[in-house]
Structure formats: structure tokens, C-alpha cells
Structure 1
Amino acid sequence: MNKKLLSIALLLFPIMALAAGKNVKANDKAVSFIGRTETLADGSVRYDWVGTYLRTRFTGGNIAVIASETGTSYYNVIIDGKVTKKMKITGTSPQKYVLASDLSKDSHELMLQKCTEGEYGCTTIHSIEIADNGTLTPVEPKKRLIEAYGDSYTCGYGTEGRTASERFRLDTENCNKAYIPIMARYFDADYRIIAHSGNGMVRNWGDKKQQSSVNMSTRYTQLYDDFSTKAFDYNQRRPDIVTINIGTNDFSPTAIPEAQKYVAAYIKMIETISKRYDNVPILCITPHSSNHYLRAAIQLLKESTANIYPNVHFAMLMNNIINDDVDLGSDWHPNYQGQTKIAMTLIPQISKIMHWEVKE
């Protein structure tokens, strides 16, 4: 073989190798993860925060993941912007999960989105499997990024429940139908969610003590929700705006905490996020179901931060936007319609803060 032919062969080799190979490591440059994740020594990617998603573009008509799970997690499979199925991943041994098959062999975009919370399972994506003649290419990140801290309302707890009286089941949780992904789709933004159902800023739902030992104040700086307490190093892309929607559980029945303790923990969160993300705009949300104790605490927070944190904003109250008969899913949590109302209430406020355009 002459030198010219050898040079051409060497240039073509990486493409030929990719086309011939079936398995691509999860940490390949063609695969991106949005959310808090950890890349392991073998190229696997592990995570448990609700809403975490991977994206890639593939050809060849078929795509699958090799994944393992500490518990059970549900996932939305989204192909070319449309949810094609919701599937369950479970089992500690790596297994193959087919995401799409027999599609046209040209380019398709995959989004694999974790619907459920870390409390129920931590996922490891070991590799991506494609057709023998398939390829993977990266998907460009969106120009906007929203980061959200919250509780069950942010997680999408019970969004697929049929009635308010229906008890929660894991398969009724779907973060894609919660207000943050709804707003992200509206603004054509990526998002990251750091949220855990039942947790408050200082006190969790129904706790008989005024302060819970583990709460969102202890979780939000972690790499994982529930799998590990390893610290998050904030080495990811800076969000354009941060939302905080925490407080419903703090002021749930029994041992209501002192407002000052809630406010102190909230301000510490604001200061930490502001420092890590260079004074990113922060929108503090009063939950739609807030009682007078929580509203009083938020008012104290507003007074305590006035003229001190110019990056902090407060959303308008939205206590009268939900109709109990049609807007609620499992355990009296907002269903998709209720979550859409919350998103529609917040969208113009985010537009004002960020100068992002609104659409008809």
C-alpha cells in the first residue's frame, strides 16, 4: 500500500471502527448527561436525582442502553422530541433495555429522562448499544439552562394519578409533567432538578421534631440525592436562573418550626448558590398550597433579604389557581394540568427577570 492510500485508511479508521462497533461507553463524547452525575472508572455514568437525562443523536435505526439499578426507576424515552414510551429499569446486574428499534436509518435524537426520585433507585448507564452500521453524534446543549431546587411539586410526584384521593405509586411519578420541564420546553432550555419529596428546608413532612436530621438543607449540596452523601463540586455549567420552591413540608401539621430557623436555612441556601454560580438570578417561589405559616415565613425572608441580595426575586402568590376536582393527582398533588397552571403562572415572571421572549 502506498503512503497516500495508507494515510486515507488511517483517516477513515475511526469512522469505520465506530460504524462496526455495537457498544459505546456511557462517557463517550457523543453522549451528554444533564443533571448531577458521576463518571466511574470503567466509563459508566451513575446518578439518582430525578429529572436527570442523557441525550445523543444516532443512526442505524436501533438504540438501547445497558443499565443497572439499585432499586427501581422509571424513564421516559423521547425520540425526536416525542415521548415514545415510559419504561422501568430495575436489577443490580447490567441489562439491555431497548429504547427504539426499526426506525429509519437516518439521524434521530434520543433523550432518556429519569422520571422518578433517587429515594427509589440509583441508575448506572454502562453503555449505549447501536446497530452494527450505526453512529452516535453529540447533541448541542440548549442556550438556556434552568436549575431548580424543590420538593414533591418539583419532582412531579403523582402527576399521573387519576384523582386526588388516589394513593401514590411510583409509576404515577413523572417529572416530565412537572412545572420545571414544562417551562424548560416553553423557553427551549435545558434544566437540572435537585428535589426530594417530603423534604423541607429544615423540617420534613409530618416530622414530630421542628428540625429533621436530613432535609433539603443537607441534600442540596450533594452529588446524589439518596445514594451517597458525597459533595457536589459545582463544576458544571452555570445556570441562567435558579428556582427554589421549598417550604410546604416545613409547615405541615404537628411540629411547625420557628420561622426564623426556616429563613436562616433559606438564606444560607441563597448565599451558597449565589457564591457557586456568581450571583445567578434566584426566583423564590411560594408554593400554590402554602398556608398562612409559610406565607408569613416567606414574607420574613423577603424582608430579611431586601436590599442585600439584588439577584433574589420573589414569585407572586398562586394560592387560587388549582381546582381540586380536575387539577390534582395522587395524594392531592398537582397533575399535569395543575402543573401546567403553575408553569403558566411562573413563565411571565421568569420572562421579566431574564428578558426571555414569550410566545403565543
Structure 2
Amino acid sequence: MDKITFLQIFSFIFFFFSIISANIDENIIKPSEKFFNFYGRYDFSDKNQIKFDYPGFAIEFSFIGSGFKILLDDGLNDFNVIIDKKLHKIIKTKKGTQIYIGANNLKKKIHNVLITKKTESFEKPSVFKGIILNTDSKILNPPCRPKYKIEFIGDSITVGYGNESRSIKCKDFKNYTNNYFSYASIASRELNAEASIIAISGKGVVRNYGEKSEKSAKPMPYYFNKTLLTSEKPFWNFKRWKPNIVVICLGTNDFSTEPKPSKELFIKEYRKLISTIRGKYGNIKIFIMGSPTLIEPLNTYLEEISKKERIKLITQPKTPENQLGCDWHPNVYAHQQIASILIKELKKYLNNI
């Protein structure tokens, strides 16, 4: 019997994995196909992959069958897998492109799936490359999109930072952060609205948390024109998606530490942000919301802005200590209370459009 050479073994292995790779590629339902709804800002420069990095970004689809897998290139974030409006599992990603089991052994019926970015990251965008259905499953047209559209502009409170913790002390806040249970996501679901969440922990209107100068180089308004927080380009195309409502919840970081911006500077920059929003969306309904963790001087300044801009200010009571999660941020229960106050005000407007 002839000896099997190293080259022959290598050739066989290469051929074997090439077949597997080809079969996987053939079975991938790619992001460019008509079967997905995407919620939030994303870069679609490459039609076979979606890049995104803001928390709460969501991918939605429907299928009939027992299960599916998800192709993600990440390594920094966790994802919620919501099936038929119930949290099915959480995916903790690994570095590089990986195939993750979304679900297996489901009842062979129609299922609606929502995959949401649970956490936030600052190093690079997440990349969605498609799904692979089980052999007994079939993709369907995506669910109908919600009736309304709301854009949220905020900081760590809007992110949902540390909201699943029962303690203010956390070894790893990422494990306890879940945007799906933030006030923004809770309110959107209750109002039958899709959400675009533009939120970054630590950002202020003028000054970011802990920075030495009174005015930061890149506060939250700097990111409003960007598609991705981790990349300077591409700029966001505001014609792609126009909200019915914009909710701004900023100011906590501006006044959390010294040096705090002056009243004049804060009001000037906040009004400039409002002007930028109107410049992009036209005659849009804007609500500004107070912080549940820092009341003064923020509410006083927001009241002045509210009067000058003729827009509604929604104040929030201070979150009690027994409702705080990581690093003094509202926990899930507190987010539900924040959302209920917000919902009451937004309903008044949405019911009349």
C-alpha cells in the first residue's frame, strides 16, 4: 500500500473544509435579502454585511420551523435573542466571525425573531452577516414594522448602563447592561414605535463625564451626524429614516463633576443641538427630559430651554437608592418607572397624528 503523503492529507483536509464552507455560504440568508427589518443606525456600504454600534440596534425576521443560527463578527458585545416577544437567550460573542445558535428545537410553527444589541462598545462596530436556518425551517417575509418612530438621544441612562444589577457596586457593568430593558426600549414597545437610540455613556451636551476642561472636544452633539460612533464616516443619511418624535435626555454628565459648564454655555449648546435636529428633520416634535439621577441645576436650565424653544419638558423624580444599579444608575424597575412617565406624555402627541 502506498504511503499517504503529508501533501495528500493536507489536500484532503482543505477539500473537506472547502465543501463545508461552500455549503454554509449557500445556506446563508444575507442581510441584503428582503427578509429583514433593521432598527437603528447602520452602515450598509457592503450589502452582504451590516455594521452598527449603537446599543439597542435590532435585527428582525420571521421563519417557520425549529431554529436558526446567526453570523456575527464582534467579540465585544452581548445580544438578546427575543423569540415571539419573549427573551429566549443571550449571546455572548467571541472575537472574529462566528456562527451562534439562535434557537433549536422550537415548535415547528411561525416564529418572529428580534435580535438586539444588549451592550455598548467603543472600539469597533459589530457586523451582522446573516442567518442560517435549520433544514426543516423556511424564511418568511419580515413582520410589519411598528406604527411610529422615535429617536432617543442620550447618555448611559438611555443606554441602560448597569440596569440589571441589584447593587451600585459591579465588577463588570457590561454583564448587567441591557438596553432592551432601558426606558427608551420599554417606552417604544409600549407605544408601538420603532426606536433609534443614539446614546453613549459618559457624554454630555457640553462636557463629558470626568474631563478636565469645561467644554469637551467631542460631547454628544458631535455624534448626531454620524452613522457609527466608532467611525468618522459615513455620515448618516437623514432622508433614510425620519422619526415622529425625538426625545433628548442629556445633562447628567455635564454637572456630575467639576469643572461644570456655565449656565449660559450649557443652554447655548443645548439649543444648538435642538436647532441641528430641526435642520435635519424639519418641523419635528421634540421632547426634552430631565435626569432621574441629577435634579439641579439641570431642571432649572431645562425649564428655561423649554420656554425659549417652546417644547415640552418631561421631568423625572430622583431615583431612590434602592432602585439603583451599577455605579448609581437606574435599575430595570426604575427604568420602568421612567418609561411610564414618558409614555404618558408621548401618547398625548401620538394619539393625534
TM-score range, shorter chain: 0.7 to 0.9
State the superposition RMSD in angstroms: 1.9
Instruction: State the match for 1:324 in structure 2.
Output: 321
Distance, in Å, in 2 between the alignment partners of 1:354 and 1:220 is: 24
The SS at the match of 1:90 is coil
Q: Deviations over 1:11-31 (max 9, x none)?
A: xxxxxxxxx952111221101
Read off the aligned partner of 2:320 and give its amino acid letter.
Answer: N
Assess if the C-alpha contact under 8 Å between 1:204 and 1:215 holds in 2: yes
Distance, in Å, in 2 between the alignment partners of 1:210 and 1:167 is: 30
- Aligned residue runs from structure 1 range 211-290, under 5 A: 211-290=215-294
Structure 2: stretches of 5+ with no match in the other structure? 1-24
**Which one of the candidate residues 59, 78, 99 is aligned to 2:82?**
78
Task: Please state how far the C-alpha of 1:323 moved relative to its aligned partner.
Answer: 2.1
Please identify, of 165-174 and 282-291, the stretch whose mean Cα deviation from structure 2 is larger. 165-174
The SS at the match of 1:353 is helix
- Aligned residue runs from structure 1 range 43-122, under 5 A: 43-69=48-74, 71-92=75-96, 94-119=97-122, 121-122=124-125
- Aligned residue runs from structure 1 range 119-130, under 5 A: 119=122, 121-130=124-133
Distance, in Å, in 2 between the alignment partners of 1:40 and 1:220 is: 19
Task: Please state how far the C-alpha of 1:182 moved relative to its aligned partner.
Answer: 0.8
| Structure 1 position 134 matched with structure 2 position 134 | no
Please identify, of 56-65 and 267-276, the stretch whose mean Cα deviation from structure 2 is larger. 267-276
Instruction: State the match for 1:202 in structure 2.
Output: 206
Q: Deviations over 1:205-252 (max 9, x none)?
A: 111111111110111211002244431111323211110000000111
Aligned length: 328
Assess if the C-alpha contact under 8 Å between 1:75 and 1:87 holds in 2: yes
Please identify, of 136-145 and 296-305, the stretch whose mean Cα deviation from structure 2 is larger. 296-305
Instruction: State the match for 1:7 in structure 2.
Output: none
Instruction: State the match for 1:24 in structure 2.
Output: 29
Assess if the C-alpha contact under 8 Å between 1:259 and 1:297 holds in 2: yes
Read off the aligned partner of 1:258 and give its amino acid letter.
Answer: S
| Structure 1 position 348 matched with structure 2 position 344 | yes
Instruction: State the match for 2:43 in structure 1.
Output: 38
Instruction: Check 1:229–1:256 CA distance in 2 against 1; reply closer, same or farther (3 A cut).
Output: farther
Instruction: Check 1:228–1:64 CA distance in 2 against 1; reply closer, same or farther (3 A cut).
Output: farther
Instruction: Check 1:90–1:260 CA distance in 2 against 1; reply closer, same or farther (3 A cut).
Output: farther
Instruction: State the match for 2:14 in structure 1.
Output: none
The SS at the match of 1:314 is strand
Read off the aligned partner of 1:235 and give its amino acid letter.
Answer: K
Report sequence identity in percent: 28
Task: Please state how far the C-alpha of 1:131 moved relative to its aligned partner.
Answer: 2.1
Instruction: State the match for 1:10 in structure 2.
Output: none
Task: Please state how far the C-alpha of 1:121 moved relative to its aligned partner.
Answer: 4.9
Task: Please state how far the C-alpha of 1:133 moved relative to its aligned partner.
Answer: 4.3
| Structure 1 position 334 matched with structure 2 position 330 | yes
Task: Please state how far the C-alpha of 1:118 moved relative to its aligned partner.
Answer: 3.4
Assess if the C-alpha contact under 8 Å between 1:167 and 1:331 holds in 2: no
The SS at the match of 1:116 is coil
Q: Deviations over 1:180-222 (max 9, x none)?
A: 1111121122111000001001100111111111110111211
Distance, in Å, in 1 between the alignment partners of 2:121 and 2:280 is: 23
Assess if the C-alpha contact under 8 Å between 1:147 and 1:192 holds in 2: yes
Distance, in Å, in 2 between the alignment partners of 1:132 and 1:257 is: 59
**Which one of the candidate residues 143, 151, 168 is aligned to 1:164?**
168
Task: Please state how far the C-alpha of 1:178 moved relative to its aligned partner.
Answer: 0.7
Assess if the C-alpha contact under 8 Å between 2:164 and 2:325 holds in 1: yes
Task: Please state how far the C-alpha of 1:100 moved relative to its aligned partner.
Answer: 0.7
Task: Please state how far the C-alpha of 1:76 moved relative to its aligned partner.
Answer: 0.5
Instruction: State the match for 2:3 in structure 1.
Output: none
| Structure 1 position 313 matched with structure 2 position 290 | no
Q: Deviations over 1:265-308 (max 9, x none)?
A: 222221222232231211100112224222232133124324xx
Please identify, of 26-35 and 267-276, the stretch whose mean Cα deviation from structure 2 is larger. 267-276
Distance, in Å, in 2 between the alignment partners of 1:356 and 1:182 is: 21
Read off the aligned partner of 1:179 and give its amino acid letter.
Answer: Y
